[in-house]
A and B are shown apart, each in its own frame.
Chain A
Amino acid sequence: MKEIAEKVVAGDVRTVARLIRDIDDGMPHVRDALKRLFPHTGRAYVIGITGAPGVGKSTLVDQMISHLRKNGKTVGVLAVDPTSPFSGGAILGDRVRMQRHSMDEGVFIRSLATRGHFGGLTQSTRSAIDVLDAMGKDYILVETVGVGQDEVDVVRSAHTTLIIVIPGMGDDIQAIKAGILEVGDIFVINKADRDGTDKTMSDLRLMIDMDQKKYKDGKWKPPILKTQAVFDQGVKELMDTIEEHRLYNFKTHGDLPFRKRKDRVGQELAEMVKARLIEEVIGGLVESGAFDMVVEEIVSGKLDPYTACERIVIPVLGKRP
């Protein structure tokens, strides 16, 4: 395990690729490697990119990589795509838009499937972020489809979160409002040559302005930018805005590394414990077939789910709560 960690820190691509696979496949030995890697993390700047399918996230990420590389920064990319709930397979196609960077040694791109994790997507993506961080990447871009709590949680682990929309998405903006507006640090209207850009701009502005109270005392107020990612239009301005937000973060939280901020650490630890418990408790029961038996009992009406839950939880706790 020591060897794996050393190779990751030395930037060995095959070791990094394999370790991320092992994390995703839930191999128990990764825990030790991650423990050893943790002291090497906390240096990378993590940018989350989220938005509905087809808004141009991958294309935007591709351009962002170019801009960061021009400034001499190394880049890691994690592109998350959904797993088919029916077959368990996935088509991971975000890479198509980024392939021009595949031979650049300063860039590491990895596609991840959401899989059927019991709340483990957040966990495994965070661990993958740690691996790329320990590998020495300056910037890590995490791209997810902004649906589902897990994916929102993933982008919440970022230092700067971008929410990408396109013109004419009236009702979808309502959807954003309900879930992820709160986590957006920067809003991007991509494909801004299309009709309806100004309307989308004013809709977003109205939504943000309704939270006026939140932005008092110099608090960061999410700017709204227009881009045409395919033509690299507006991407330079976006990168400048990300840099402004980075400096704002730095000013607000001092030189305290992001991962050591109390709110973040608490939240991440709680999530890690939750994922591990589910993994150990449910995982064991599924493997032995006991889980399926209990489910059968509920289905056939012999047992109610509340009693079933107690039956599972009480032996683990060793007492009646």
Chain B
Amino acid sequence: MVQKRRLRVMVAKPGLDGHDRGARIIARAFRDAGFEVVYTGLHQTPEQIVDAAIQEDVDLIGLSSLAGAHRYLFPRVVEILRERKAEDIMVCGGGIVPEADIPVMKKAGLKEIFTPGTTLDSIVAWVNANVKPR
């Protein structure tokens, strides 16, 4: 049967941050929204995340960071995607990100940053509105 394109999303945990409860909950919400979610597990380098995203042909990478290293790790993922000519893969982030960092992140190429308190429904709604299967 001719199938509709299904959204494929990667949920990734860059860096040494060891808490992935949030990432897992997001993954679950994405699954319940009908997306195919590839989860990378903890302690990933930006290079590992990008290589996996390319092999998996995802439309969006969702980065989770709770340990304060997002200022380096998040933009680095966008940078490597550009180097690999895979900038068509969108990147968003979430976790403990101070308000002041959000403009910096967006300037670096992240499409959106979700901070604590954001509802799952609003994240799913954002994905549905902004990410189209390529």
Q: Name A267-290 residues within 8 Å CB distance of B.
A: 278-279, 282-283, 286-287
- CB-CB under 8 A for A18 and B39, given A102-B52, A279-B2: no
Q: Name A5-36 residues within 8 Å CB distance of B.
A: 13-14, 17-18, 20-21, 24-26, 28
Task: Assess whether A95 is in contact with B40, with CB atoms less than 8 Å apart.
Answer: yes
Taken together as a complex, chains A and B put the C-alpha atoms of A125 and B68 apart, in Å, by 41
The residue in chain B whose Cβ has the minimal distance to the Cβ of A18 is B57
The interface residues of chain A lying within 8 Å CB-to-CB of B34 are 87-89
The interface residues of chain B lying within 8 Å CB-to-CB of A120 are 1
Task: Assess whether A287 is in contact with B41, with CB atoms less than 8 Å apart.
Answer: no
The interface residues of chain A lying within 8 Å CB-to-CB of B39 are 91-93, 95-96
In the complex, identify which listed stretch (B3-11, B71-79, B114-122) lies at the interface while the others stay far away. B3-11
Instruction: With both chains docked as a complex, state the minimum distance between the C-beta of B87 and any C-beta of chain A, in angstroms.
Output: 12
Task: Assess whether A118 is in contact with B1, with CB atoms less than 8 Å apart.
Answer: yes
The residue in chain B whose Cβ has the minimal distance to the Cβ of A97 is B41
Task: Assess whether B31 is in contact with A14, with CB atoms less than 8 Å apart.
Answer: no
Instruction: With both chains docked as a complex, state the minimum distance between the C-beta of A101 and any C-beta of chain B, in angstroms.
Output: 10
Taken together as a complex, chains A and B put the C-alpha atoms of A321 and B56 apart, in Å, by 45
B86 within 8 A of A: yes
B27 within 8 A of A: yes
Taken together as a complex, chains A and B put the C-alpha atoms of A104 and B44 apart, in Å, by 14
Task: Give me the 8 closest cross-chain CB pairs, A-B, nearest first.
Answer: A96-B41, A283-B1, A89-B31, A17-B57, A26-B3, A21-B57, A88-B34, A89-B34
Task: Assess whether A87 is in contact with B55, with CB atoms less than 8 Å apart.
Answer: no
B17 within 8 A of A: no
Instruction: With both chains docked as a complex, state the minimum distance between the C-beta of B47 and any C-beta of chain A, in angstroms.
Output: 6
Q: List 15 A-B contacts (CB under 8 A).
A: A13-B54, A14-B54, A20-B57, A25-B4, A25-B5, A87-B31, A89-B30, A91-B27, A95-B52, A102-B48, A103-B51, A108-B55, A282-B1, A283-B1, A287-B2
Task: Assess whether B44 is in contact with A99, with CB atoms less than 8 Å apart.
Answer: yes
- Residues of B bordering A, CB below 8 Å: 1-6, 8, 27-28, 30-41, 44, 47-48, 51-52, 54-57, 85-86
Task: Assess whether B51 is in contact with A88, with CB atoms less than 8 Å apart.
Answer: no
Taken together as a complex, chains A and B put the C-alpha atoms of A21 and B89 apart, in Å, by 14
Task: Assess whether A90 is in contact with B31, with CB atoms less than 8 Å apart.
Answer: yes
Task: Assess whether B1 is in contact with A279, with CB atoms less than 8 Å apart.
Answer: yes
Taken together as a complex, chains A and B put the C-alpha atoms of A282 and B2 apart, in Å, by 10
A84 within 8 A of B: yes
| Complex partner residue of B38 from A92, A279, A282, CB under 8 angstroms | A92
The interface residues of chain A lying within 8 Å CB-to-CB of B35 are 89
The residue in chain A whose Cβ has the minimal distance to the Cβ of B29 is A89
The interface residues of chain A lying within 8 Å CB-to-CB of B37 are 89-92
The residue in chain A whose Cβ has the minimal distance to the Cβ of B84 is A14
Instruction: With both chains docked as a complex, state the minimum distance between the C-beta of A105 and any C-beta of chain B, in angstroms.
Output: 9
The interface residues of chain B lying within 8 Å CB-to-CB of A86 are 32
The residue in chain A whose Cβ has the minimal distance to the Cβ of B31 is A89
Instruction: With both chains docked as a complex, state the minimum distance between the C-beta of B40 and any C-beta of chain A, in angstroms.
Output: 6
